[in-house]
């Protein structure tokens, strides 16, 4: 099953236009890899710099009080809309229904709604950026221009599954890059939500059920992971966004990130598939192989 899409034919009111992903797509092959989480941080950071998303996240998200739970729920949602088969469309519907109630009014009296078309699309646009950044740093080679265009066609299918209006969709990856750069430079802001998020990922709060006596152990164990996630998040965030947030990124930092990425890109492929992919992704891929083997046996059965 492929995720190619004719942009001109997008109709957000036509359910038949929505379809799940499957084998043969770059989305299916790569989103489920454990390395996906490395650039998820920069995607969420860019989301929290969008004023409406920031206001809604500030009012409703549990990322400050339950960072691990929020991260796991978000990751689970991504795995479901990628690998859930027909259930993936139900997952996108569930997320839209959930976000329909996430509205707020900021200190200036401006109303913000989670399902406003621009912010709703921006959440997915940041994922497109993060996917390309992941290949840039944590794959054996970055995506070529042609591969970015092919992947973007799949992204348009995902947008369609989420009922993103066509007006929010650049026609090509080249157009997307221009749109994305303009959004980062001229629309994103150094919100308090974004600053809080950077603090949260650097020092991972212990689960509420963990006894206080074990908090020092928690900090010792999670400290290196938090510092690495913060480092990777800052490094894979556009320079314009870093500048707005007052973040520094030196040539030495860039070299360190490149070295880290080089090792990760060569170590992860050596892992067994069960460890390379998140559980939902692994089981979905295994199921598809089992279906293919069953089909082969059926096709050669005596008649």
| Count of helices and strands (H, E) across the chain | 14, 2
Instruction: Kindly report whether the global pTM for this prediction surpasses the value 0.85.
Output: yes
Cα–Cα distance between 68 and 95 in angstroms, integer? 19
Residues 25, 108: contact at Cβ < 8 Å?
Answer: no
Closest CA to 18 of 118, 70, 90: 90
Q: What is the largest CA-CA distance in the chain?
A: 74
Query: Is pLDDT at 9 greater than 80 in this prediction?
Result: no
Cα–Cα distance between 275 and 254 in angstroms, integer? 28
pLDDT (tens digit per residue) in 227-283:
999 999 999 999 999 999 999 999 999 999 999 999 999 999 999 999 999 999 999
pLDDT (tens digit per residue) in 79-129:
999 999 989 999 999 999 999 999 999 888 899 999 999 999 999 999 999
All structural domains of the chain with their residue ranges: 26-104+111-206+214-300
Cα–Cα distance between 136 and 23 in angstroms, integer? 23
**What distance lies between CA 155 and its chain's CA centroid?**
12
Cα–Cα distance between 106 and 72 in angstroms, integer? 28
Tokens of 303: 């008649």
Closest CA to 124 of 58, 170, 59: 170
Cα–Cα distance between 280 and 233 in angstroms, integer? 24
């Amino acid at each position: 099953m492929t995720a190619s899409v004719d942009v001109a034919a997008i109709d957000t009111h036509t359910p038949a236009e929505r379809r799940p992903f499957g084998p043969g797509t770059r989305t299916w092959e790569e989103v489920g890899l454990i390395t996906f989480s490395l650039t998820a941080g920069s995607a969420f950071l860019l989301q929290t710099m969008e004023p409406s998303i920031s206001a809604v996240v500030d009012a409703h998200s549990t990322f400050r009080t339950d960072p691990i739970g929020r991260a796991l729920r978000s990751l689970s949602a991504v795995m479901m809309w990628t690998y859930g088969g027909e259930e993936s469309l139900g997952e996108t519907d569930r997320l839209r229904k959930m976000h329909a109630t996430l509205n707020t009014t900021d200190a200036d009296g401006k109303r913000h709604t989670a399902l406003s078309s621009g912010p709703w699309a921006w959440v997915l646009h940041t994922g497109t950026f993060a996917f390309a950044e992941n290949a840039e740093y944590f794959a054996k080679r970055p995506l070529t221009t042609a591969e970015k265009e092919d992947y973007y066609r799949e992204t348009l299918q995902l947008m369609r599954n989420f009922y993103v209006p066509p007006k929010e969709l650049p026609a090509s990856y080249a157009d997307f890059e221009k749109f994305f750069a303009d959004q980062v430079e001229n629309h994103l802001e150094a919100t308090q939500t974004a600053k809080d998020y950077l603090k949260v990922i650097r020092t991972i709060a212990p689960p509420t059920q963990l006894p206080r006596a074990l908090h020092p152990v928690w900090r010792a164990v999670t400290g290196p992971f938090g510092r690495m996630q913060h480092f990777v998040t800052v490094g894979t965030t556009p320079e314009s966004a870093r500048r707005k947030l007052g973040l520094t990124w030196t040539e030495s930092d860039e070299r360190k990130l490149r070295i880290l990425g080089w090792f990760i890109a060569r170590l992860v492929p050596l892992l067994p598939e069960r460890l390379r992919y998140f559980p939902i992704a692994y089981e979905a891929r295994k199921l598809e192989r089992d279906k293919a083997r069953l089909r082969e046996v059926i096709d050669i059965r005596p008649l």
